[in-house]
Structure 1
Amino acid sequence: MLVTPLKELLAMHTDSMTKKHAVYLFESSWKKKYTDRGIRKILTKYSEEAGLVQNLSPHQLRHFLLTWLKKQGIDDALIQPYSGHQSRKSLEVYSKLSITDAQAEYNEVINKFPI
């Protein structure tokens, strides 16, 4: 879940880029979209500043977002246009719960089992 300060920061950034008539939400000072390499450099910088042991990749962030959206109950039909996947069938990978998620759900429900 995005924490409130991050949401506010993103909202301010979006507003700023709209006022600048930017083409991209995140664009370079040359009014160009960032390259894959540029995005990786930015993520490396912020991963190090956050003290993460392992750097985040754009793919990991994308996977996290799509998994989070699925866990929020957002329908595949609404996620698919933003995911870059050609079909909703491709989104099934984000539907799989981890064993710890499944175990927590199981534990919560099994205690209510009427025996």
Structure 2
Amino acid sequence: MSLDELSKKYNVDLSRGLSNARAAEILARDGLNALTPPPTTPEWVKFCRQLFGGFSILLWIGAILCFLAYSIQAATEDEPVNDNLYLGVVLAAVVIITGCFSYYQEAKSSRIMDSFKNMVPQVCTA
């Protein structure tokens, strides 16, 4: 494509560039000449994914079943054995501790990736 065809296609004067009106029109239509960041996931959603995603949901189900078994024992026996209660507490504690640790690791890696993004210029120039 020749320069004349290009200037006609984009309505540009090769010696003076865009007129102020045309530049304002393009700015209103296309926005600023900058990279737009992708939408981010809220931190509480990331935390909940760590607590309730993958294998953690199986551990939560196991803890709930242990609490349910203990409550059935407590309702039917005078002195129920506390094994199911202890197991449910331990399972819940394991899920919470590993979820917090996983969230911390993910947040730490996200901060490192954000620091890499800050090294790249956000404005494009030709």
Higher gyration radius (CA):
2
Instruction: Give the TM-score of the pair, scaled to structure 2.
Output: 0.28
Higher RCO by CA contacts (8 Å cutoff, separation 6 or greater):
2
Q: Which has the higher helix share?
A: 2
Instruction: Give the TM-score of the pair, scaled to structure 1.
Output: 0.30
